[in-house]
Structure 1
Amino acid sequence: MPEHRTGPDATPVGTTAAPGPKGGRRAEARRHDREIIALALPAFGALVAEPLFLLTDSAIVGHLGTPQLAGLGIAAALLGTGVHIFVFLAYATTAAVARRVGAGDLAAAIRQGMDGVWLALLLGTAVAAVLWPLTPAVVDAFGASATAAPSAVTYLRISALGIPAMLVVLAATGVLRGLQDTRTPLYVAIGGFSANAALNVLLVYGLGFGIAGSAWGTVIAQCGMAAVYLAVVVRGARRHGASLRPDAAGIRACAQAGVPLLVRTLSLRAVLMIATAVAARLGDVEVAAHQITLTVWSLLAFALDAIAIAGQAIIGRYLGAGDAEGARAACRRMVQWGVASGAVLGVLVAVSAPFVGRLFSGDEEVRGQLLAALLVVAVTQPIAGAVFVLDGVLMGAGDGPYLAWAMLAVLVVFAPAAFAVPALGGGLTALWAALAGLMMSVRLATLWWRARSGAWVVTGAVR
């Protein structure tokens, strides 16, 4: 658990050094750059490690047979949705802890973080208790085939036992991010991925457990990650005299703070589900190209989300320290980083677009649809960069209620536009113009207006 630190220029964390008569703005920009890089780079590594869990499971289970791989795909989709709707456990905890850090009260920061961890444990236990007996019905409702269903049920039922650990990992990651520590989550993610890969090979092939071995390997790896996180948090709590006991009022407050972010996440999920449903209506070629485009888009999001995570931690810390101008300056600089990063990623996508199709499909029609959709993604990446950063800034400010209403407004605008695509004779390119162009532009407008209004700049240890 890191000690309360000072900035790279010996300025106390959360304060802004007074610029000199010459080069003041450049010095301030460099200071913000160092902060952003120090937090964003490890965060990016940890984010990339997450999908490697599923990639490893898919590679190992894929050699067992097509029914097993299909079952894994169904179970992983259900499990991922069930876990990631609770991502607010990380976001809300980061903002709350960072504010306390900025205010110089590490004991209260860790106490606040423990409330999030206890909430994660309660939610995880409840979800696992409900999902375990209902697994066959859930898999059946998802439309699994008779050959894939048994593998899906096996994998999902075993994996459900690891949901409490998965949610604890989310909350504990938020605690450390709020404490301005993104390196420890990176190390834990690397260790978890390595353990998962080794356990999968041992249990699936070495001991012959099949797809059940893959599920158990993931559960054990997730529990190990949760144990490491808890050890780090407990050590920090003892060092700073913070209580580890569950506090009903604190847990309730944490849950209330997370509700708006839950609404935001569900709205965003609805946008993506609508896009996939519309692509399916367009035809098999279109939905295949859409899935590849969505995969590329999601990968790009990991890079941009790393800056957003840095934004959550930095903005929360500045506001907790009462440094409103420092928060505004950091916001401006991070938006510049987001736009620049988006532009670079856009160029990379545009250059590689003609070759990406060959990696995923041998169908010329799919490649043609994919190329046009990827070019839309490339052009809109600077917009995505600004959106991700501003989203992170407002999360760091604890502006969850506004984010919830804004995302609901985006859903209201996007849904009719997406459903109009096939009705008006549009194709996949038009759908992605609605998703990456219209939807992200509306998000940018709502977030930019909020950022310019200054209503998010609420200082103090608690919003």
Structure 2
Amino acid sequence: MKKDDREMRRMLGEPKKAIRSLAAALSLSYLVIQLNIFVDTFWTSGLGDMDMTAVSMMSPIYWIITATGVGLGVGAASTISFRIGEGNMERAEKLAANSVVLGLLTSVFVSAAMMLLIDPIIDLMGADEVRDGSVAYVFPFIAMGSALILNGIISGLLRSEGAGRKSMIVLIVSATLNMALDPVLIYGLGMGVAGAGWATSVGALISTALGLYWYMSGRMNVALSFRGFRPDRGVMAEVMGIGGPRTAEALVTGTTNILQRIFIIAAGGTVAVMLYNVPFRYPTLAIVPAEAIGAAMIPVCSAALGQKDTAKMKLGMLYSAKLSIAITSAIALTVFVFADPLMGVFTTSESMASHKEELVWVLRMFCIFIPFDGLRKLGSCMLQVLRRSKLSTAAMLLWGVCKLTAYAAASLYSFEALIIACVGVYVFGGILMMGLSYHVSKKVDERHMPREPGC
């Protein structure tokens, strides 16, 4: 079968055009994923505020599992793109196969750990009143952890050779199946919040199978073959050199999100978790373009680094930052103006309607930090390109500690004080990550390209 290498050649060409092209496809797919989360929230909101609180409580578990796959996918995308830029396709293909095996091994560990930690996490958060709903919602993610993790890795493999459209299709198939199955499983089969979890997991399984089919049928430029496969520690170390710290960064974020619920509950009771999480859906949606730009920048700028063209790499990163600021600022302003009708989507039930005024206020406060949060995500991606993943992880750990400290102090006053602290912490996070990436990029030239062990 003849392979189409146009997307890979575009990735190796002019950086602005390559980033725009890949980011456009990724933005659409990420947008569908976030709309998918909105649909989950919409359907479960009809079950009442307690089930909504259960979903909000367990969302960090889902985040930890999927972010593990995304982290390994970033490691695969960065290292494979770097080798493609060098012209070393044999090494790129070894990286692809070992990334998939690494994902399967990791999924076994993550699922087992999450199964053991569910009840202690609920006890830690003091959320016993929603224990049954929380366990029902999160169990499908644990049972299908391999599909959720491999979904992120396959998407990373596709991006590594510039196949933005195929990466988009994989993510859209997953999200579309989830949206279609939600009402059927939640209400049609009477599964409640468990139905939302199974809908997400089944969608991930089928879309992952599609991505693997493209590789196993020889349609991609980077071959993925397991015939006579033997795990290669050196190759896995190369992926983990970037993917490991990125995954650890995601675990820091997920753990922080779990622990912050202690202070949210202390500030406003169990329902405060819902008051915090539901408006947060919009900032999450608003930074989709920044996340897509960052995901597009990684293979393009990594390939430029592999070509030893640091000027092209820096041009790509600067362009990405400007594009992110412009788009997220415009979205933040729009969300602020239309906050009232936007929150109306989630206040259709009687118990949710009583919270609408406070939900609108929280959303407008969150709009302040949206551009900064986009820069926080983008700065992390820049450090992956620069082979400074460990620095990115250390910075995120520092940010997580600052976040929890600020939330703990604010919880002594009121829920409103905690929201103000949230805004300040996210602004700080954006400034911190972009400052670090700028500092590191200034030191990079053809004679001094920062590397980490295994890279």
Q: TM-score, with normalisation over the residues of structure 2? A: 0.80
- How far did residue 395 of structure 1 move? 1.6
Which of 258, 264, 289 does residue 243 from structure 2 map onto? Answer: 258
Q: CA RMSD in A?
A: 3.9
- 2:86 equivalent to 1:96: no
- How far did residue 120 of structure 1 move? 0.7
- How far did residue 181 of structure 1 move? 1.5
Q: Which amino acid aligns with 1:119?
A: L
Q: Give the alignment of 1:340-351 within 5 angstroms.
A: 340-351=326-337
- 2:150 equivalent to 1:168: yes
Worse overlay, 402-411 or 53-62: 53-62
Which of 446, 449, 453 does residue 458 from structure 1 map onto? Answer: 449
Other structure's SS at 1:180 match: coil
Q: Which amino acid aligns with 1:343?
A: S
Distance 1:336 1:241, change over 3 A: closer
Partner of 1:44: 27
Structure 1 Cα separation of the partners of residues 365 and 279 of structure 2: 10
Worse overlay, 83-92 or 117-126: 83-92
CA deviations 1:335-378 (Å, max 9, x no partner) are 2112212322232233224554555567798636853x555544
- 2:423 equivalent to 1:437: no
Structure 1 Cα separation of the partners of residues 131 and 431 of structure 2: 40
CA deviations 1:36-76 (Å, max 9, x no partner) are 22111211222223344555455556667877666655555
Structure 1 Cα separation of the partners of residues 384 and 426 of structure 2: 22
Structure 2 Cα separation of the partners of residues 225 and 294 of structure 1: 27
The 8 Å contact of residues 103 and 153 in structure 2, kept in 1 or not, is answered as yes
Other structure's SS at 1:398 match: coil
Q: Give the alignment of 1:384-423 within 5 angstroms.
A: 384-422=373-411
Which of 6, 12, 15 does residue 14 from structure 1 map onto? Answer: 12
Distance 1:452 1:367, change over 3 A: farther
- How far did residue 308 of structure 1 move? 0.8
The 8 Å contact of residues 321 and 378 in structure 2, kept in 1 or not, is answered as yes
Structure 2 Cα separation of the partners of residues 416 and 192 of structure 1: 37
> Size of the alignment, in residue pairs?
442
Partner of 2:438: 448
Distance 1:181 1:155, change over 3 A: same
The 8 Å contact of residues 312 and 397 in structure 1, kept in 2 or not, is answered as no
Q: TM-score, with normalisation over the residues of structure 1? A: 0.79
Q: Which structure has the larger Rg?
A: 1
Structure 1 Cα separation of the partners of residues 203 and 91 of structure 2: 30
Which of 296, 306, 325 does residue 282 from structure 2 map onto? Answer: 296
Q: Which amino acid aligns with 1:265?
A: A
Distance 1:297 1:228, change over 3 A: same
- How far did residue 291 of structure 1 move? 3.0
The 8 Å contact of residues 2 and 181 in structure 1, kept in 2 or not, is answered as no
Percent of aligned positions that are identical? 18
- How far did residue 305 of structure 1 move? 0.7
Worse overlay, 151-160 or 260-269: 151-160
Q: Which amino acid aligns with 1:183?
A: R
Structure 2 Cα separation of the partners of residues 288 and 204 of structure 1: 19
Structure 2 Cα separation of the partners of residues 292 and 216 of structure 1: 21
Unmatched segments (≥5 aa) in structure 2: none
Distance 1:374 1:2, change over 3 A: farther
- How far did residue 316 of structure 1 move? 0.9
- How far did residue 173 of structure 1 move? 0.8
- 2:236 equivalent to 1:247: no
- 2:219 equivalent to 1:231: no
Q: Which amino acid aligns with 1:389?
A: L
Other structure's SS at 1:427 match: helix
Q: Which amino acid aligns with 1:80?
A: W
Worse overlay, 291-300 or 48-57: 48-57
The 8 Å contact of residues 13 and 102 in structure 1, kept in 2 or not, is answered as no
Partner of 1:324: 310
- How far did residue 263 of structure 1 move? 3.0
